[in-house]
């Protein structure tokens, strides 16, 4: 009886860890508009042939980036500017935005992105 109970406990922990990871993920639908879209902890850049996900955390001091001005991504805290590929155009940030990995849900086509 101890072995089945131990196995059940391990299964429960594994399921809880998967659920927690999914809760922390950002779900992006495949019909998202082209260009830049801000989705909380994720910045989405979609062009005609590809989609890229960046962390919305500014690489300067970690402020949440949530706006564009004159075609560039701008941090509202200290004014760091990034191009559409996440590269720094103007500081104080010196590092590019962090690209995020993603998976595609085979059933829905949704992008599942885990922010850092």
Whole-model pTM: value is 0.77
Does 109 fall in a domain? yes
Secondary structure (3-state) at 92: coil
Query: Between 30 and 24, whose confidence is greater?
Result: 30
Domain count, the chain: 1
The answer to whether 43 and 53 are in contact (CB under 8 A) is: yes
Query: Between 4 and 51, whose confidence is greater?
Result: 51
Q: Which of 36, 26, 20 is nearest to 114 (CA)?
A: 26
What's 68's domain CATH number?
Answer: 2.102.10.10
- Write out the residue range of the structural domain in which residue 90 sits: 27-113
Predicted local confidence at residue 22, as pLDDT = 47
Q: How far apart are CA 75 and CA 27, in angstroms?
A: 23
Does 14 fall in a domain? no
pLDDT tens-digit profile of 85-114?
Answer: 999 999 999 999 999 999 999 999 999 998
Distances from the Cα of 6 to the Cα of 14, 17, 20, 23, angstroms: 12, 17, 21, 26
Does 43 fall in a domain? yes
Predicted local confidence at residue 1, as pLDDT = 46
| Helix ranges (DSSP H) in the chain | 2-24
pLDDT of residue 66 exceeding 90:
yes
């Amino acid at each position: 009886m101890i072995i089945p109970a131990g196995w059940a406990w391990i299964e429960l922990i594994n399921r809880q860890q998967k659920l927690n990871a999914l809760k922390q993920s950002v779900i992006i639908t495949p019909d998202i508009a082209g260009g830049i879209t801000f989705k909380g902890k994720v910045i989405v850049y979609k062009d005609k042939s590809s989609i890229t996900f960046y962390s919305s955390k500014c690489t300067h001091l970690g402020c949440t980036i949530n706006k564009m001005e004159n075609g560039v991504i701008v941090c509202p805290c200290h004014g760091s500017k990034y191009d559409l590929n996440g590269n720094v155009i103007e500081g104080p940030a010196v590092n590019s935005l962090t690209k995020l990995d993603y998976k595609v849900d085979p059933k829905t086509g949704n992008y599942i992105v885990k922010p850092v």
